[in-house]
Structure formats: C-alpha cells, structure tokens
C-alpha cells in the first residue's frame, strides 16, 4: 500500500486537509466515444493525466478536440483487440460498440477485455470493466438486482453483445481471483446525453433525431416495453466512485425511473415537437419486455444515485443534436 492509500485508509476514506491527492495516470479505452469522452472531461478536470486509446470505429475525435493541447492528455489511435503496453494506474475499459447497428460484427468484448486485463496485470493497474444491463437479458425478475443471473437467449440475434459482456465479466473475475488483479465491474443501464451518435439505433437518439427531422417516431411493438434512462453525468460520477472505492461489484449503474417506449416518445414530443407523429412497427426479436435497475447496492456502498431526471437531461441532449444536425454552433454540447 502506498503512502496516499495508507493515509486515506486511516482517515475514513477521505484525504486529510493539507495532504494533496495523488494525481493518477489513467487509461480510458473508447475514450473518444459518448460516455468515454465525458469521463475524460471529469478526469482531466480533477488533475489526472489521461491516455485515450480508441480506434474511432464509433468514437469521434471531435469529442476530444478541446483536450488536444493539454500536456496531461494523450490520444492514441489503436484497436484494443491488439495488445498495447502503457504505464498507468487505472484502466477504464469502455471500448466496445454498444449500439445495435455496430456491435454485431465486433470482437472487442472478449479480445479487447483480455488484452486490457493482461495490461492491468503487467503494470499493476486497477481495472474497471463497463458491462451492461443486457447481461440480464429479458429479465424474469423486476427490478433487477446484481445477484440475478439473467434470462438470456445464447443464440439470439443480439446475443453476441449480451454473451460478450457476460464473458468479459467472467474474465475480469478470473483475473481478480486467480491473478490478484484489482477489478471493478459496472453494469450500465440505458444512458443518454450530448455526444451520443445520432444514428446509432438506440431508442433515445432515434426519437430525438426523428423529431428534429420532422419524421415519425418509430415505436417497435406495442410500445409497452420499459427502460430506465440515466443522464451521462450521473453515469460518469458512478464510474468514478466505483473505481475509487473498495468494492469489486458488480454494481448496477442506472436511473430507476422507468418509462414505457410510448411514455418516452411523449416526453420527446413535449421537448421538441408536440405534433410529432408516432409510427408503430413490428418488434425486433429478443427485445426485453422490462428493464429497471435496483441500485440499492450502489447507494449503500458507493454513496451514489442519479440526480438528473429525464425531463431535466433530455433538453440538453436535444440542444446538442440540434447543433450537430443543423449546424447551429451557438448551442453548447457540454454536460
């Protein structure tokens, strides 16, 4: 245990006044993406040195342009399915396409995770894996707690993502138990906010883009399926608390506020265009009927819970989408 951790241990987890926090060297894989770029903003803001590794498959360099002249920031174009050696203290492993139009043909979940765990072992870094609520599949338990093993179709059309994340969690725990790698596991529920890919196939971005373009909002099935939507700043706060804490997890990180797809469509209508039409289409195969996190564990052990409601966060996302779709640079795309 280094001196900083020793002092922190005997101070109830807080750094005593007069003792400056050690600035860390942090690797963020997928750091040019939606969530990753917001995480990078927070890490830089608190004084850490940050290395972003991204192959720009879904990430955008423009999400990080404001850091390029910062001496504490480094951007490396690299695909984590190939090994890389870097000296770092913490690894946030976010690299993996998380949208339906991208994840079917990519192997980052398994190979990328294996390579980053290998790096964590070699350099003694703490490793955080961003898993997903998709590990619960079409859950038979509602809301979902971390001890629930899920109801997943292993050969379904969306199984490559679900099973890939389940495998990634298994690998993380194997490295933790067998090789003493410090790991943290976050199970992320639906997240939205500025910098989301506009045409990534996820329901919030679909609805917002369609409403702005004066297109009908596409609702699949009867629209009674439910999801829970957390704003990106809440997620970033949860990830950082998990990394800095003393608990492996897994932890559900999501907003327990539950909406049907029709209710979400109506919130989008209220925010953008009350006259936007809703168009119903046949539902996709293996689409979960309900999804809502039980976040009791995160509340108790991390002191974390979301603070931004859907009606508070959605207008910020709409401003960002409007700027990117129509080129209105006067609108701010920050948190």
Decide if 99 contacts 134 (C-beta within 8 A).
no
Distances (CA, A) of 84 to 48, 52, 123: 21, 12, 12
The answer to whether the bond into 143 is cis (omega within 30° of 0) is yes
Would you call 161 a catalytic residue per the annotation? Answer: yes
Separation CA 312–CA 316 (nearest Å): 8
Any idea how long the chain is? 335
Residues forming a β-bridge with 128: 92, 184
Distance of CA 81 to the CA centre of its chain: 19
**Catalytic residue (choose from 136, 161, 175, 231):** 161
Separation CA 172–CA 116 (nearest Å): 10
Residues forming a β-bridge with 284: none
- Catalytic positions are 161
């Amino acid at each position: 245990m280094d001196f900083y951790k020793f002092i922190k241990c005997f101070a109830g987890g807080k750094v005593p006044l007069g003792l400056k926090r050690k600035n860390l060297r942090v690797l963020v894989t997928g750091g040019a993406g939606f969530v990753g770029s917001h995480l990078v903003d927070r890490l830089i803001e608190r004084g850490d040195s940050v290395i972003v590794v991204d192959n720009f498959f879904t990430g955008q360099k423009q999400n990080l342009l404001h850091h390029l002249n910062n001496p504490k920031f480094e951007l490396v174009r690299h695909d984590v399915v190939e090994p890389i050696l870097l000296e770092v203290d913490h690894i946030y492993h976010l690299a993996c396409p998380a949208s339906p139009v991208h994840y079917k043909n990519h192997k980052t979940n398994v190979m990328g995770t294996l390579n980053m765990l290998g790096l964590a072992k070699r350099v003694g870094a703490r490793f955080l894996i961003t898993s997903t609520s998709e590990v619960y599949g079409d859950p038979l338990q509602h809301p979902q707690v971390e001890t629930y093993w899920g109801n997943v179709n292993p050969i379904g059309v969306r199984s490559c993502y679900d099973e890939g994340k389940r495998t990634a969690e298994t690998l993380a725990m194997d490295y933790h138990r067998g090789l003493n790698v410090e790991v943290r596991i976050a199970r992320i529920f639906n997240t939205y906010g500025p910098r989301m890919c506009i045409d990534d196939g996820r329901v919030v971005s679909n609805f917002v883009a369609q409403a702005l373009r004066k297109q009908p909002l596409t609702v699949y099935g009867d629209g009674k399926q439910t999801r829970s939507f957390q704003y990106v700043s809440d997620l970033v706060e949860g990830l950082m608390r998990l990394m800095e804490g003393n608990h492996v997890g897994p932890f559900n990180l999501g907003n327990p506020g539950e909406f049907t797809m029709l209710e979400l469509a109506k919130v989008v209508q209220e925010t953008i265009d009350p006259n936007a039409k809703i168009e119903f289409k046949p539902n996709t195969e293996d689409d979960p009927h309900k999804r809502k996190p039980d976040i009791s564990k995160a509340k108790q052990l991390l002191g974390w819970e979301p603070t931004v409601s859907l009606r508070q966060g959605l207008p910020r996302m709409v401003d960002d989408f409007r700027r990117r779709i129509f080129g209105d640079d006067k609108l701010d795309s920050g948190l």
